[in-house]
Amino acid sequence: MRKLAIALIVMTASLAPARARTPQQAAPAPAAVPRTAPLSLFRMTQANDARAPLTQAAVTTAGVDLQLYGDGRNIIVATGKGANLPRLFFGLCKGPCGFTLRDRNRYFDLRGRASIRFTTIVSGFHRVRPIIRLADGALFIGDQAEGSTADYHQYDISFADCRWLRLDPVRGVTLGGGWVEADLSKVDEVGLFDVIPGSGVWTNDSLPVERQPPPPAGGWIAVSAFELWGQAINR
């Protein structure tokens, strides 16, 4: 059984800012970020070459919840024998769509060197963006976006590099007239979002999403791996 490599990973290195140095002092080499074994959050139980909606049933790690935003109910899990499978596919979303993961026992401090890492391929003008939900319930989307139309590539987005806009959790559209200062010291959920509807063609709305025909070439994102690097803090 192959697993979709989606993980939450705790970064235990200090996130405190470096002390000021005199001109005579050489800058120390940056400390390596300790890596722990990733927690596998998704497991594919369908037969090869199958598609199924992304639901909580796909989450196998105890204490982790899946949240869907925008038209996230139409994100599908695709399995098969080829490279970068299983994967999440956003091409059947009728509107902007995305997902987050939430640890029931921990928040995350995403300041400093914290980052989100994912492997993706995109089509058209689609790009993968990070979304976060704070402890107070506010949902934000970052301005950093990645994706290649040529092949699957791994990307890292540092949360400290992002500017944030509020995101409507139902419609998946940005809100407000300007950038918002998001408090990254206490983040409840972290995930990925696509602001453009997929290129899928729904031939019959009565059919479940997994039985819809494959979308034509034109616009979508596919994600085969997802990791969060941050400092875990108890709730």
Write down the pLDDT at residue 145. Answer: 97
> Is the distance from CB of 138 to CB of 181 less than 8 angstroms?
no
Write down the pLDDT at residue 40. Answer: 42
Write down the pLDDT at residue 3. Answer: 45
Write down the pLDDT at residue 118. Answer: 93
Write down the pLDDT at residue 211. Answer: 83
Whole-angstrom distance, CA of residue 83 vs CA of residue 222? 12
Write down the pLDDT at residue 99. Answer: 96
CB count within 10 Å of CB 121 equals: 20
Phi, psi of 57 (to 5 degrees): -60, -20
Write down the pLDDT at residue 129. Answer: 98
Whole-angstrom distance, CA of residue 91 vs CA of residue 26? 50
Average pLDDT by consecutive 10-residue portion of the chain (235 residues)? 47 34 50 41 50 84 90 90 85 95 92 92 96 97 96 95 97 92 95 94 84 81 90 88
Q: What token pair was written down for 144?
A: 């950093």
Cα angle: 58, vertex 225, 126; to 5 degrees: 105
Write down the pLDDT at residue 1. Answer: 39
Query: What residues have CB less than 8 Å from 199, skipping those under 6 apart?
Result: 91, 123, 124, 215, 216, 217, 218, 219, 220
Whole-angstrom distance, CA of residue 221 vs CA of residue 129? 11
